[in-house]
């Protein structure tokens, strides 16, 4: 990127794509800044998902004008906004689009106007704006950009350098403005996330995109001395303590919707209320003790989509456990390679500190696994590859880190889950590695998928798109019906020794389909107990665990 060059629509989209990748590198660190008494999921994750949605919506418009790109980004951000931070970020993008309306290209002065509108939109979208948060950061950014622009500087790099400096100073000052941040000993998570996005954009403009893959964003330290209070354990919370309630986030679609009227109606029904959008599509975010009332009211106005309701009391307990992990204890952290968001939830619930997305057709590199290892608080790390093609990559991590690495050679995700269930919190590092490795043999895995080409394997004549069943890595059956194929695979295992069958259904399958599958198996093997869980995995219709 050359100095004084105007950004085209393609440049603008690419700039924020690079900035989003920059944010993704520090999602865990931004999440760790979440504070109470208004827990709101994972700030970094919510902002990242919002940015992904924004950029995906604008992908086809990337060769159009800056105005077209930002308009699409605004729509995508509104549709995909997650959590309080994501909704506010969507408003910042909406304001940016408003400020760049009609612009074919964008220079520094144009971008300054966009930031000014972004600040206005962020404040307007919140019923009770709180200083010391992301809205303060965007306000300070807009002020700095405008001042530089009024001095006659239209160079986009110069403007963005001023913006990033102002954002960093603003984030560092957030604890001085907000008591809850001072008490928790952190800067504002949303403000930090916005700083990283802006910093990533500047680095793109300065031609540093390639070098960024080998670096990580800076976590801004506070300007004032912070001494975190001790974290209260869940057991010590009084029975009469006020609950946090439910973080309720949804999209309302209808006709002649009134943002102001809806805001007034919901204002006394909870905290952290954000209502943004237009007369046809509105994003609602609220922390409430009665999400049912909110849902009932909004369904009288239109149809609901993307409804997410999170129990913030459980998030509080998760936060406490996270803080325990962050303390220097010489404990054990676990890293797992996982395919499918449903499986990711299962592995996280069983104590995995960091998930590396990957599996069949998208094997992560040693570097990907190494980066996850480095994010772990503990010095002793157990890695679960969950795929035979990833084991060797995982074993190379020890050469790159000073931490102690042990790889449990799991070849399937059910093996990984069995290993996690064998983990003993009272045992030492080496003992747990032994216990988890032994547990691999306690489970059998059957994976049901469709053949991508015709072939002959193990004496089986397989036609393209037929359903094949893979038993612990070996193709053992094929049929046009997945239930028949699975049944044939089960016949080749010693089902009499199994007690529990868990069916993980993939992203293109339904719970009803999985229930039908379990019913057909149960009719033949009535002694088995069944569990049905959404795995969300691609390529495999079903992954079945026999224990």
Cα 359 from Cα 387, distance rounded (Å) = 6
Clarify whether residues 73 and 205 are in a common domain: yes
CATH number at residue 363: 3.40.50.510
Are 286 and 293 spatial neighbours (Cβ–Cβ below 8 Å)? Answer: no
**Is residue 267 included in any domain, yes or no?**
yes
Q: Is residue 45 domain-shared with residue 176, that is, in the same domain? A: yes
Whether 306 and 337 share a structural domain:
no
Could you tell me which of 183, 171, 181 has the C-alpha nearest to residue 141? 171
Q: Are residues 203 and 75 in the same domain?
A: yes
What is the 3 state secondary structure string of 445-464?
A: EEEEEECCCCEEECCEEECC
Point out the domain boundary residue: 387, 411, 440: 440
Rounded CA-CA distance 112/100 in Å is 10
pLDDT by residue, tens only, the chain of 547 residues: 444 478 999 999 999 999 999 999 888 888 877 654 333 447 888 899 899 999 999 888 767 899 999 999 999 988 888 777 888 999 999 999 999 999 999 999 999 999 999 999 999 877 778 899 999 999 999 999 999 999 888 899 999 999 999 999 999 999 899 887 886 678 899 999 999 999 999 999 998 888 787 788 888 887 765 444 433 333 333 333 344 578 888 899 999 999 889 988 998 888 878 888 888 899 888 888 888 899 999 999 999 988 888 776 665 555 545 444 443 334 789 999 999 888 988 888 788 888 998 876 678 888 889 999 998 888 899 999 998 888 888 888 998 899 999 999 999 999 999 999 888 877 889 999 999 999 999 999 999 998 887 888 888 898 999 999 999 888 999 999 988 998 898 888 888 788 888 999 998 899 899 998 888 888 888 888 888 999 998 889 999 999 8
Same domain, residue pair 401 and 472:
no
| Domain containing residue 214: CATH number | 1.25.40.340
Residue 481 lies in a domain: yes
How many domains is the chain built from? 4
Q: Can you give the CATH number for the domain in which 257 is found?
A: 3.30.70
Whether the CA torsion 118, 120, 126, 132 is positive or negative: it is positive
Give CA–CA dist 294/185, Å, rounded.
34
Instruction: Please tell me the distance from the alpha carbon of residue 203 to that of residue 413, in angstroms, as a whole number.
Output: 38
Query: pTM to 2 decimals?
Result: 0.54
State how far the Cα of 196 lies from the Cα of 212, in Å rounded to an integer.
12
Tokens at 117, concatenated:
């509108």
d(CA 507, CA 513): 12
DSSP-based three-state secondary structure for 417: helix
Domain that holds residue 346: 323-440
CA atoms within 13 A on the CB side of 323: 20
Please name the residues in contact with 414: beta carbons below 8 A apart, sequence gap of 6 or more: 443, 444, 445, 502, 504, 543, 544, 545
């Amino acid at each position: 990127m050359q100095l004084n060059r105007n950004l085209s629509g393609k440049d603008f989209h690419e700039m924020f794509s690079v900035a989003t990748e920059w944010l993704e590198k520090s999602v865990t660190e931004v999440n760790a800044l979440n504070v109470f008494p208004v827990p709101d999921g994972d700030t970094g994750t919510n902002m990242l998902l919002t940015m992904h949605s924004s950029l995906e919506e604008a992908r086809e418009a990337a060769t159009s004008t800056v105005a077209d790109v930002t308009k699409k980004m605004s729509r995508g951000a509104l549709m995909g906004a997650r959590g309080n931070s994501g909704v506010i970020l969507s408003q910042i993008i909406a304001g940016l689009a408003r400020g760049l309306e009609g612009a074919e290209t964008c220079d520094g002065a144009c971008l300054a106007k966009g930031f000014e509108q972004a600040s206005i939109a962020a404040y307007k979208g919140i019923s009770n704006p709180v200083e010391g948060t992301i809205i303060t950061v965007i306000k300070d950014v807009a002020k700095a950009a405008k001042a530089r622009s009024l001095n006659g500087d239209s160079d986009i790099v110069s403007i963005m350098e001023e913006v990033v400096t102002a954002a960093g100073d603003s984030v560092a000052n957030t604890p001085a403005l907000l008591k809850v941040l001072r008490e928790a000993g952190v800067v504002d998570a949303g403000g930090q996330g916005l700083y990283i996005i802006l910093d990533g954009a500047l680095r793109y403009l300065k031609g540093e995109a390639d070098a960024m893959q080998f670096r990580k964003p800076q976590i801004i330290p506070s300007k004032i001395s912070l001494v975190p209070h001790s974290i209260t354990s869940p057991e010590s919370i009084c029975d009469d303590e006020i609950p946090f309630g439910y973080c309720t986030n949804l999209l309302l679609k209808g006709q002649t919707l009134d943002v102001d009227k809806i805001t007034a109606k919901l204002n006394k029904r909870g905290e952290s209320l954000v209502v943004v959008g237009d007369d046809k599509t509105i994003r609602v975010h609220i922390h409430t003790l009665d999400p049912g009332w909110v849902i009932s009211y909004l369904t009288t106005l239109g149809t609901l989509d993307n409804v997410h309701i999170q129990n913030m009391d459980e998030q509080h307990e998760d936060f406490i456990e996270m803080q325990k992990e962050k303390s220097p204890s010489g404990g054990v952290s676990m890293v797992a390679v996982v395919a499918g968001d449903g499986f990711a939830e299962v592995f996280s619930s069983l104590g995995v500190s960091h998930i590396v997305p990957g599996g069949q057709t998208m094997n992560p590199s040693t570097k990907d696994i190494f980066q996850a290892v480095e994010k772990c608080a503990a010095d002793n790390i157990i890695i679960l590859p969950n795929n035979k093609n990833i084991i060797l990559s995982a074993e190379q991590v020890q050469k790159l880190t000073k931490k102690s690495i042990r790889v449990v050679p799991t070849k399937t995700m059910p093996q990984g889950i069995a290993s996690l269930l064998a983990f003993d919190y009272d045992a030492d590092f080496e003992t747990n590695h032994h216990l988890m490795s032994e547990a691999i043999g306690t489970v059998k895995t059957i994976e049901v998928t469709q053949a991508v080409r015709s072939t002959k394997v193990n004496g089986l004549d397989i036609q393209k798109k037929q359903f094949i069943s893979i038993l612990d890595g070996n193709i053992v059956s094929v049929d046009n019906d997945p239930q028949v194929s699975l049944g044939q695979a089960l016949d080749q295992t010693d089902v009499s020794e199994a007690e529990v069958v868990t069916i993980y259904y993939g992203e293109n399958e339904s719970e009803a389909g999985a229930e039908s599958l379990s019913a057909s198996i149960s009719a033949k093997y009535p002694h088995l107990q069944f569990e049905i869980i959404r795995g969300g995995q691609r390529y495999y219709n079903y992954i079945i665990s026999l224990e």
